[in-house]
């Protein structure tokens, strides 16, 4: 069995980057394969803001990346009724007005894209998250039965016309109002209200009894809400988890990973007190927030989904997003998300060609940038039935190890991801590495998904990299 050693911009025994010949004292890291911490199904992406059918970039993501989950946009401002009369006429869940909705979709490219991607996801048998940003013109009451009804009609239509069974629904980042704002109590009330309505009015119909849509707990804009005093923001989940009926409708916990800074490189101490606001780029609160949300998921036996992964969810322009420096910041959210969050799945923002966050550099005729190769390395090189296993990290120098244990052709396989976030060459000694042969793969500023020519034998559970 050949295992995998995945290296990000690392200087080590077999292949060097640059001309450095500096000999450094080895940083000690440890792998404990017996301690399996979480299940990891893999990577996916958000396909939320394109037009029409899958655009060229989105098709390439499906073809070149191992997509394990997708998140799509339900544009309620396009799907929903314009007024009460339209609602009363067309939005019944007891007798779905397919002709009306067929025409609605035919004239709206964004609705078409969501439904076409949902259909493709169905054929791939991967989960679908459906999220809404903007509310409909009617109803205006975000907690009303009418709102539940409008959302339900889309889920029913996607199932009936496209064969797509939506796994999860949420309002996007409702904790900070992008663009529907829920207090923590309103978040609970929406989950409970929609869950009740969907169960009693949709799933009660025999033709829709196999719909499996559950609600996301959270889907918050970042692991911490910087507008509120620390640590009170983390109680956003509290009303819901204390309501058994609401929790019966929750299918997963969801968090977005935005930080706007170096998520893994800030000191390990808080730098505020009392009622001061949390600095948005402070890595301490980002890491602690991830751990708290992860624990909520574990306490309630729910998967944690990092539904938007990236550094800056409000970057004003594409300028700078395709640089190596930005890619390294993004990689911190990828590696840190795995290490501190221990999620079941992660979704990059965004798998859309015409979105400024595209992993393809539009200035270079859709040439994949470094973030694409990082995600390919993390997502495509993954054993079957992967379980994240316990590892140690180094804070100074900042070197992270995340590892997975799974199987391939009936045999145990290990995949190790090693990332060096320091600005200099580093030597590393890995203890606890299972005996076997490891195939090396490297991504750096100049090398993209490079397979190393030599296999790396490991004996005595010690692997030295210099």
Round to whole Å and give the CA distance between 412 and 367: 35
User: Burial code of 89-126, b = ≥16 C-beta within 10 A, e = fewer?
Assistant: ebbebeebeeeebeebbeebebbbbbbbbbebbbeeeb
> Pick the residue with more confidence: 121 or 282?
121
Which three-class secondary structure string do you get for 362-401? HHHCCEECHHHHHHHHHHHCCCEEEEEEEECCEECCEEEE
SS3 150: helix
* Sign of the CA dihedral with 184 first, then 189, 242, and 346 last: negative
> Pick the residue with more confidence: 32 or 357?
32
Which token pair is 308?
């938007």
pLDDT bracket for residue 20 (50, 70, 90): very low
How many alpha carbons lie under 13 Å from residue 59 in its C-beta half-sphere? 6
**Within 10 Å of residue 398's Cβ, how many Cβ atoms?**
18
Nearest to 338 by CA among 372, 387, 285, 280: 387
- DSSP class of residue 123 equals H
Q: Is 384 exposed, middle or buried (0-12, 13-18, 19+ CB in 10 A)?
A: exposed
Residue 237, pLDDT > 80, answer: yes
| Sequence-separated (6 or more) residues with CB below 8 Å from residue 308 | 46, 71, 256, 257, 258, 347, 349
pLDDT bracket for residue 1 (50, 70, 90): low
Distances (CA, A) of 350 to 40, 173, 287, 369: 20, 16, 22, 13
CATH code: domain 41-381 is 3.20.20.80
| Sequence-separated (6 or more) residues with CB below 8 Å from residue 352 | 46, 47, 48, 49, 50, 55, 57, 58, 358
pLDDT bracket for residue 355 (50, 70, 90): low
Q: What is the pLDDT of residue 104?
A: 98
Which token pair is 232?
């009170």
User: Burial code of 361-374, b = ≥16 C-beta within 10 A, e = fewer?
Assistant: bbeeeeebbbbbbb
Kindly report, as residue ranges, where domains of CATH 3.20.20.80 are found in the chain: 41-381
Mean pLDDT, the chain, rounded, equals 86
> What is the crossing angle of helices 145-162 and 98-106, to 10°?
80
Round to whole Å and give the CA distance between 346 and 402: 15
Nearest to 362 by CA among 376, 372, 377: 372
Q: Residues for the chain: how many in total?
A: 466
Q: What is the pLDDT of residues 182-210, one digit of tens each?
A: 999 999 999 999 999 999 999 999 999 99
Alpha helices in 236-312 (DSSP H): 238-241, 244-247, 283-299
pLDDT bracket for residue 352 (50, 70, 90): confident
Q: What is the pLDDT of residue 23?
A: 37
Distances (CA, A) of 357 to 71, 130, 184, 222, 227: 15, 20, 30, 17, 25
Round to whole Å and give the CA distance between 214 and 129: 10
Q: What is the pLDDT of residues 155-179, one digit of tens each?
A: 999 999 999 999 999 999 999 999 9
Mean pLDDT check: name the lowest of 41-50, 199-208, 218-227, 357-366.
Answer: 357-366
Alpha helices in 229-282 (DSSP H): 238-241, 244-247
Q: What is the pLDDT of residue 13?
A: 26
| Sequence-separated (6 or more) residues with CB below 8 Å from residue 110 | 49, 50, 51, 73, 75, 78
Round to whole Å and give the CA distance between 224 and 287: 9
Distances (CA, A) of 214 to 114, 142, 298, 391: 18, 18, 17, 33
Q: What average pLDDT does range 438-450 have in this prediction?
A: 86
């Amino acid at each position: 069995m050949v295992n995998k050693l995945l290296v990000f911009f690392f200087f080590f025994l077999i292949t060097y980057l640059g001309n450095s010949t500096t000999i450094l004292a080895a940083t000690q890291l440890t792998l404990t394969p017996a301690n399996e911490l979480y299940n990891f199904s893999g990577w996916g992406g958000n396909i939320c803001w394109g037009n029409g059918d899958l655009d060229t970039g989105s098709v390439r993501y499906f073809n070149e990346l191992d997509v394990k989950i997708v998140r799509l946009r339900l544009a309620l401002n396009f799907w929903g009724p314009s007024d009460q009369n339209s609602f009363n006429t067309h939005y019944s869940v007891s007798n779905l007005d397919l002709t009306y909705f067929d025409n609605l979709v035919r004239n709206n490219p964004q609705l078409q894209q969501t439904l076409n991607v949902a259909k493709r996801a169905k054929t791939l048998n991967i989960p679908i998250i459906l999220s809404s940003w903007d509310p409909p013109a009617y109803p205006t009451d975000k907690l009303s039965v009418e709102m539940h009804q409008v959302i339900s009609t889309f889920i029913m239509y996607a199932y009936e016309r496209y064969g797509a069974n939506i796994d999860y629904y949420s309002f996007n980042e409702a904790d900070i109002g992008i663009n529907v704002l829920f207090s923590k109590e309103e978040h609970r009330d929406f989950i409970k209200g929609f869950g009740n309505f969907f169960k009693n009015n949709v799933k009660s119909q025999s033709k829709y009894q196999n719909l499996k849509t559950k609600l996301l707990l959270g889907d918050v804009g970042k692991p911490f809400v910087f507008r509120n005093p620390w640590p009170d923001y983390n109680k956003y989940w509290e009303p819901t988890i204390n309501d058994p009926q609401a929790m019966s409708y929750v299918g997963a916990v969801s968090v977005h990973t935005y930080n706007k800074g170096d998520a893994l490189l800030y000191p390990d101490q808080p730098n505020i007190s009392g009622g001061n606001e949390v600095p948005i780029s402070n890595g301490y609160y980002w890491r602690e927030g991830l751990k708290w949300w992860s624990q909520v998921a574990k306490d309630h036996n729910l998967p944690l989904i990092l539904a938007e992964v990236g550094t800056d969810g409000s970057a004003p322009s594409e300028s700078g997003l395709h640089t190596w420096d930005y890619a390294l910041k993004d990689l911190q959210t990828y590696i840190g998300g795995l290490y501190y969050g221990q999620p079941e799945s992660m979704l990059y923002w965004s798998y859309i060609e015409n979105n400024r966050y595209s992993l393809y550099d539009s200035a270079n005729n859709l040439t994949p940038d470094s973030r694409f190769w990082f995600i390919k390395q993390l997502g495509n090189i993954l054993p079957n039935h992967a379980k994240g296993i316990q590892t140690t990290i180094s804070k100074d120098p900042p070197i992270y190890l995340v590892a997975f244990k799974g199987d391939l052709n009936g045999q145990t396989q290990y995949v190790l991801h090693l990332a060096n976030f320091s600005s200099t060459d580093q030597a590393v000694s890995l203890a606890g590495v299972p005996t076997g042969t490891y195939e090396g793969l490297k991504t750096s500023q100049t090398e993209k998904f490079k397979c190393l020519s030599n296999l790396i034998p490991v004996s005595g559970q010690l692997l030295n990299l210099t």
